[in-house]
Structure 1
């Protein structure tokens, strides 16, 4: 069984149908094979470059850090997995009291964002929700420039308009500190993706994404940079 968490992204029939269409168009086995290649790189190296037309950044992975990933052996018998697990290799840092497993610095051109709030307060902040929906639409239409310094987001501009105050307000107790670094492996959905839809399937797009927030004290927000190339950094 494969499930896609529509309810914590955009709980609508339109979003569910969009997610289902991308699931159908995805090549699960190709994505799992690509995850295996990335795991081999992570076993052999700790310093990486994120390069390409839309990115210029560096990533350092702690030597004892363990990535979340799947390979074909994981589906050799009965299973229940989220669709997201098939399409990304990622490091998460949800506990602020522990060392972050990665350190990221540089810039990414962002083609889409995703917003998730797993815990709703008794009085939801509809004004904040609307502001994030408008930001999602603006990024999908114009792209955005994300700048990160030592795991802290220092700028997020759409059409030269800064939105970092909104991000800090939305992210909750973790503020502007990154909580996730991920490599997407779902090549097959590239021609069909719609970044204006807040769908979990979008985060698997081949390339890089980073995120802030824990999804509980505030929103978890993913920043998607498709096509960015993740490769070992050359020796100094």
Structure 2
């Protein structure tokens, strides 16, 4: 999909500006032909914008000035909670520009209809062997075309997945997952420093991510609890349990990705939010606060109702 078609789908005739708090990133975007602005210099968002926040302060400011902007269409990329580096941000922007937003929104609607019309599903393809059941009245989150027909500020991730989240441990989980998945990559998010977590976890997770991106891994889940993550027959579950914080090995998310256009361009070594939208499924543990939120990406997996 050409950037011009992506821009037309989301912004109509309005060319979007790139907004960020990194001058080096903005300079690169200028070389790509975009209008740019530093978030610190704005009192309102442009009518159409793509925002990359490299710090929590920039993310907070984005939403503060969005409240003061009457007419706005904006994609928000929270770079700071993944990997706030120039190469990662440029990688994410490149994938974003090559994504088929129109197709992804239409696929989200189709997936949403399937999930709302059935309760039990099988997962197959790419060596997956799993089932998932959805609790009655559970509400999946999906982004539809009518959600962006007028003013919006939407996280980039919401354009490319339909998901169920279980972030409140005191409430029933909206899904029940059991089975095995072949994992091509992981993503890790820690929203703020947590002194209770062991030292060196970030480096250990980077090591794990690099290994998985090369060798792949097999994830086993029993009744929403991860019981194994094997890399070349080496068990890595202790690292996951240490990193995930108070939620431990219990699943906190089940999602179906719909971004088929980027499948051949993914680099699983990069901790980019764009990766999780790849067509297939992903599961997650952790809440991102008491411990890391860790996504396990399993591309090319299909989800089908069990009748």
Normalising by structure 1, we get a TM-score of 0.97
1:88 counterpart (161, 166, 170)? 161
* Distance in 2 between residues matched to 1:217 and 1:188, nearest whole Å: 34
Whether 1:47 and 2:47 are equivalent positions in the alignment is: no
Deviates more, 1:106-115 or 1:122-131: 122-131
Match of 1:203? 276
Q: Does the aligned pair in 2 maintain the 1:119–1:217 contact within 8 Å?
A: no
SS at match of 1:80: strand
Equivalent residue for 2:304, pick from 211, 214, 231: 231
Q: SS in structure 2 opposite 1:66?
A: coil
Shift of 1:124: 7.3
CA distance, structure 2, for counterparts of residue 152 and residue 34 of structure 1: 29
Q: 1:188 maps to which residue?
A: 261
Alignment of 1:78 onto 2:171? no
Which residue number corresponds to residue 186 of structure 2? 113
Tell me, yes or no, if structure 1 residue 160 matches structure 2 residue 233. yes
Based on CA coordinates, which of the two structures has the bigger radius of gyration? Answer: 2
Question: Higher relative contact order at CA 8 Å, sep ≥6: structure 1 or structure 2?
Answer: 1
The match for 2:31 is none
SS in 1 for 2:245: helix
Q: In angstroms, what is the RMSD of aligned CA positions?
A: 1.1
In the alignment of these two chains, the number of paired residues is: 234
Partner of 1:22: 95
Partner of 1:101: 174
User: Which structure 1 segments of 5+ residues have no match?
Assistant: none
What residue in structure 2 maps to residue 144 of structure 1?
Answer: 217
Which runs of 5 or more residues in structure 2 are unaligned? 1-73
Task: List structure 1 runs of 4+ shifted beyond 6 angstroms.
Answer: none
Q: Distance in 2 between matches of 1:231 and 1:176?
A: 26
Equivalent residues of 1:211, 1:222 under 8 A apart: yes
CA distance in 1, matches of 2:265, 2:97: 11
